[in-house]
Structure 1
Amino acid sequence: MTPEIRKIVSYREEVLIEGFKAAATPWTLYAVAAVITNPWAGKYVEDLKPVIHAFGPELGALLTGKITDMSGGGDKIEAFGKAGIVGLDGEIEHASGLIHTLRFGNHFRQAVGATSYLAFTNIRGAANTAIQIPLMDKNDAGRRSHYLTIQFSIVDAPRADEVVIALGAATGGRPHHRIGDRYQDLKDLGHDMDNPAAI
């Protein structure tokens, strides 16, 4: 069992000036998305696991290979994320199931040498729905400079019986980041840095 892929869409954004100030080095964001037929569309299926186990590794390897090629290698990627959009004849559970499996995400994590979890969105929408991929630092979930969102759309996808599965990446954080990080906030609020949840 393999996913039926109708198309693969790539997105690249290179920012030279951000907020009226030139970036010291170009800031580049990437995304790649696969538009696939939703095998569960139009019906309720209790056990999603067989398809998730079959599709997850194939989609994870395919999209990871494409996005690391686009960026010049996994070592060039500092921030990463994922997204799924299910068409109108599907459940949000379908988009969620295809991206929230280690069989999918671990391909990307391993390729970029990450320890953080992949930030994500999973929604239902019609063709041309904005695909929003939240990003975070691949190794430091509290590094706010790398809290980013890539947004693009595919004019004819997802169709009602399709799912769009996407990965996003950035070569760095916002060029002129200056809001600090969550660790300074915790320190300022008097939290125990070894146990941030404690007050």
Structure 2
Amino acid sequence: MLKPDIRKIVTFEEEILVEGYKKADTPLRMFAVAAVLTNPWAGRYAEDLKPEIQAFAPVLGKLLTDKIVTLAGGADKIEAYGKAAVVGLNGEVEHASGLIHTLHFGNFYREALSASTYLAFTNIRGTANTPIMVPLMDKDDAGRRSHYLTIQFAIPDAPRDDEVVIVLGGATGGRPHHRIGDRYQDLQDLGHDLNNPAAV
């Protein structure tokens, strides 16, 4: 049976107390959990990625979801969420994409949070210590701009050329002092129907 060969799990967390020279009314916690694993397709072209995706993605989805919910102090503490993948130089961006762009991976996180929006994402190729960017959005409201956040961190020894890093990220709220409004006001100002934004 195919199983992911995980070298290590890395966690990242920051607590923002002051933003823009002003103390936050409520400190914002942002956190991420990453799995560093061997890329099963490294160094070769594979036409069919499905067997590894279906075997690896549920294991990674459950593992990372359990860990990030614990790190947050409970699923109810997470308001914004996202995912990311970084594949090493002997792999394709398709490999990074394959492991995170499947319901076999993301639905564990979505269901744990009772979320209704899609998971914001990045998927790139890079070397060890490549900055990992995890974009976040509100778990229930895609137009809530206060929760458009990005977690940034790096793992000094990952990904190796034959590895891929799979990441889930979260935050306990929106940006401190957010004041640019939500996209609904822009739509209204532009004369769009809020129930059908594509209509003019």
SS of the aligned residue for 2:105 comes to helix
RMSD: 0.4
> Aligned partners of 2:188 and 2:20: how far apart in 1?
29
> Aligned partners of 1:112 and 1:24: how far apart in 2?
24
One-letter amino acid of the counterpart of residue 165, structure 1:
I
Q: Which runs of 5+ in 2 are unaligned?
A: none
SS of the aligned residue for 1:17 comes to strand
In the alignment, structure 1 residue 65 sits paired with structure 2 residue 82:
no
Identity rate, percent:
72
SS of the aligned residue for 1:173 comes to coil
> Aligned partners of 1:113 and 1:45: how far apart in 2?
35
Asked if the contact 1:75/1:113 (under 8 Å) is kept, the reply is no
1:50: Cα distance to partner?
0.4
Asked if the contact 1:31/1:167 (under 8 Å) is kept, the reply is yes
Which residue matches 2:78? 77
1:132: Cα distance to partner?
0.1
1:25: Cα distance to partner?
1.2
TM norm structure 1: 0.99
Which residue matches 1:51? 52
SS of the aligned residue for 1:97 comes to helix
Which residue matches 1:183? 184
Which residue matches 2:108? 107
> Aligned partners of 1:123 and 1:167: how far apart in 2?
15
> Aligned partners of 2:193 and 2:168: how far apart in 1?
35
One-letter amino acid of the counterpart of residue 81, structure 2:
F
Matched ranges for 1:107-146 at <5 A: 107-146=108-147
1:113: Cα distance to partner?
1.1
Which residue matches 1:160? 161
SS of the aligned residue for 2:177 comes to coil
TM norm structure 2: 0.99
One-letter amino acid of the counterpart of residue 134, structure 2:
I
> Aligned partners of 2:164 and 2:180: how far apart in 1?
36
Aligned length: 199
Which residue matches 2:3? 2
One-letter amino acid of the counterpart of residue 143, structure 1:
R
Asked if the contact 1:16/1:27 (under 8 Å) is kept, the reply is yes
> Aligned partners of 2:188 and 2:8: how far apart in 1?
48
Which residue matches 2:198? 197
